């Protein structure tokens, strides 16, 4: 399961005429801002709303497009533009996605999130470095920002109980691989048969049964 990072809420901070998020994609190696319409892949982790609806999906032709179900309205594209808003740039280095104020935004996947408050025209800026360290995603004009975090992998940490059980399984594997004795005791043979069964477990056998077995004494004779 992939990690989920809360980025904040859509707002209209900085130079803005209404609630939306300015979305940019910056190539970290060159510092160049890329047209999000031509490189949607880094944005595929963005999720919109409490239901965490993907912002980007593939259409019937396999092209990456804005997801209609996310309720995003594209109000300004990348590139030259007239700037009716005082203080706005005449060359837009991103896209504007209009959404209701207060809409929560998330990112699913590995990477590093760095919130930056009060960034001039950007207002509150949510920045997320993708897990491959190739791109920085920026979301400007945010109303609120989430807490900074580092998600180095797409896997959520396992619980202590799951970790202990996995160590137990590894221990059993080591026991079976040793093969130092010519003749197996009853417990060794039963353990081997039990572990082999766990590779394709029937409904009645699982980790709980294995745990109970390992904690219970068995006759050691044949």
Q: What is the pLDDT of residues 42-58, one digit of tens each?
A: 999 999 999 999 999 99
As a whole-number percent, the residues of the chain with pLDDT over 70 amount to: 64
Tens of pLDDT, residues 26-36: 999 999 999 99
Q: Note the pLDDT of residue 59.
A: 94
SS3 170: helix
For the chain, how many structural domains are there in total? 2
181 shares a domain with 138: no
126 shares a domain with 39: yes
69 shares a domain with 164: no
Give Cβ neighbours of residue 84 (< 8 Å, ≥ 6 apart).
none
Q: Note the pLDDT of residue 190.
A: 64
SS3 156: coil
64 to 122, 169, 173: CA distances (angstroms)? 26, 42, 44
51 shares a domain with 131: yes
∠ Cα 125 126 132 (to 5°): 135
Query: CA-CA distance, 26 to 21, in Å (whole number)?
Result: 16
Q: Please, what's the largest Cα pairwise distance for the chain?
A: 89
82 shares a domain with 185: no
115 shares a domain with 12: yes
Q: Note the pLDDT of residue 17.
A: 86
Residue 29 CA, distance from chain mean position: 22
22 shares a domain with 104: yes
Looking at per-residue pLDDT, the higher value among 204 and 21 belongs to 21
Query: Is there a domain that residue 220 lies in?
Result: no
- Residue pair 23/94 in contact by the 8 Å Cβ criterion: yes
SS3 26: strand
166 shares a domain with 140: no
- Residue pair 146/169 in contact by the 8 Å Cβ criterion: no
Reference 44, options 29, 23, 28; nearest CA is 23
What pTM value is reported for the model?
0.65
Q: What proportions of the chain, in percent to the nearest 5, are helix, strand and coil?
A: 25, 35, 45
Query: Is there a domain that residue 200 lies in?
Result: yes
* Residue-number span of the structural domain to which 75 is assigned: 4-151
Tens of pLDDT, residues 79-113: 887 766 666 667 779 999 999 999 999 999 989 99
Question: In the predicted model, is pLDDT for residue 184 greater than 50?
Answer: yes
- Mean predicted confidence (pLDDT) in 157-168: 48
Question: In the predicted model, is pLDDT for residue 156 greater than 50?
Answer: no
DSSP letter string, 175-191: HHHH---SS--HHHHHH
86 shares a domain with 36: yes
């Amino acid at each position: 399961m992939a990690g989920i990072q809360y980025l904040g809420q859509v707002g209209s901070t900085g130079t803005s005429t209404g609630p939306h998020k300015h979305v940019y994609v910056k190539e970290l190696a060159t510092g160049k801002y890329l047209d999000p319409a031509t490189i949607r892949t880094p944005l595929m982790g963005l999720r919109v709303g409490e239901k965490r609806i993907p912002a980007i999906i593939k259409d019937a032709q396999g092209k990456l497009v804005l997801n209609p179900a996310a309720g995003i309205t594209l109000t300004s594209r990348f590139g030259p533009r007239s700037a009716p808003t005082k203080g706005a740039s005449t060359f837009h280095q991103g896209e504007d996605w209009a959404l209701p104020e207060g809409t929560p935004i998330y990112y699913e996947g590995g990477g590093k999130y760095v919130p930056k408050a009060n960034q001039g025209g950007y207002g509150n800026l949510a920045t997320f470095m993708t897990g491959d360290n190739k791109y920085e995603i920026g979301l400007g004009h945010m109303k609120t920002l989430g807490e900074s975090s580092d998600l180095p992998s797409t896997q959520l940490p396992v619980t202590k109980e799951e970790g202990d059980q996995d160590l137990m399984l590894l221990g059993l594997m080591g026991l079976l691989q040793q093969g130092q004795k010519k003749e197996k005791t009853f417990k060794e043979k039963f353990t081997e048969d039990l572990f082999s069964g766990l590779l394709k477990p029937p409904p009645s056998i699982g980790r709980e049964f294995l745990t109970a077995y390992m904690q219970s004494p068995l006759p050691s004779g044949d």
